[in-house]
């Protein structure tokens, strides 16, 4: 038997067991349980990561922090980066889970391939229905 409540709070039901017992052909058993609300994740990131400056051919690292401001687990399904001058240095392989009120640091590297402003984008796909996909601008 499985308890799978459809709502939060006290849930009750009656299990009826029929048999060929002439004295007691039907037995009723009271069942109860407490359903708890499942929280929702809430992805939180800053709108941009600034790498500062680096000479062409040199590199500099910066950290993007993904936070879960929600009450349910945040599952990061995919992470991608655009811009040939930007790469991931340190990140758990997706999918990964961030607990409620938790965070995960992602280290990125910028290695300019030409002089001038450097721009890129990190895209985060998660189970946060309101904020997926989320994007973070990369600048340097």
Domain harbouring 55, CATH code: 2.60.40.10
pLDDT in tens, 81-120: 999 999 999 999 999 999 999 999 999 999 999 999 999 9
Strands 48-50 and 60-68 turn out to be: unpaired
Q: Are residues 27 and 52 in the same domain?
A: no
Query: In this predicted structure, what is the pLDDT of residue 83?
Result: 92
Decide: 47 and 139 in contact? Cβ < 8 Å.
no
Q: Please give the Cα distance from 9 to 124 (Å, whole number).
A: 34
Asked whether 122 and 81 are in contact (CB, 8 A), the reply is yes
Please report the pLDDT score of residue 35 as a whole number. Answer: 67
Residue 124 reports pLDDT greater than 80: yes
- Same domain? For 32 and 57 the reply is no
Name the token pair of 116: 């001038």
Q: Are 128 and 41 in contact (CB under 8 A)?
A: yes
Which of the 8 DSSP states describes residue 66?
A: E
- Whether 127 has a pLDDT exceeding 70, the answer reads yes
Q: Are residues 49 and 111 in the same domain?
A: yes
Specify the pLDDT at position 11: 83
d(CA 110, CA 140): 8
What's this model's pTM, rounded to 2 decimal places?
0.74
Q: What is the CA radius of gyration of the chain?
A: 25
pLDDT, tens digit (0-9, with 9 covering 90-100), for 5-55: 776 678 888 888 888 988 888 888 888 887 666 789 999 999 999 999 999
Range of the domain at 10: 1-37
**Is the predicted pLDDT of residue 77 greater than 90, yes or no?**
yes
Residue 74 and residue 26 share a domain = no
Q: How many domains does the chain have?
A: 2
* pLDDT at res. 36: 66
84 and 24 housed in the same domain: no
Whether residues 28 and 48 share a domain: the answer is no
Confidence (pLDDT) at 8: 66
Answer yes or no: do 75 and 110 share one domain: yes
Looking at the structure, do residues 33 and 47 belong to the same domain, yes or no? Answer: no
Fill in the DSSP letter of residue 72: S
């Amino acid at each position: 038997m499985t308890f799978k409540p459809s709502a939060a709070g006290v849930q009750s039901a009656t299990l009826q067991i029929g048999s060929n017992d002439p004295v007691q052909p039907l037995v009723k058993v009271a069942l109860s349980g407490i359903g708890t609300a499942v929280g929702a994740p809430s992805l939180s990131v800053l709108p941009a990561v600034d790498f500062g400056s680096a000479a062409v051919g040199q590199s500099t690292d910066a950290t993007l922090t993904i936070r879960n401001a929600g009450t349910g687990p945040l599952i990061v399904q995919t992470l991608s980066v655009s811009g040939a001058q930007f790469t991931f240095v340190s990140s758990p392989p997706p999918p990964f889970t961030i607990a409620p009120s938790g965070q995960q640091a992602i280290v990125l590297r910028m290695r300019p391939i030409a002089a001038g402003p450097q721009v890129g984008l990190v895209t985060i796909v998660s189970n946060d229905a309101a904020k997926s996909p989320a994007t973070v601008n990369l600048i340097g």
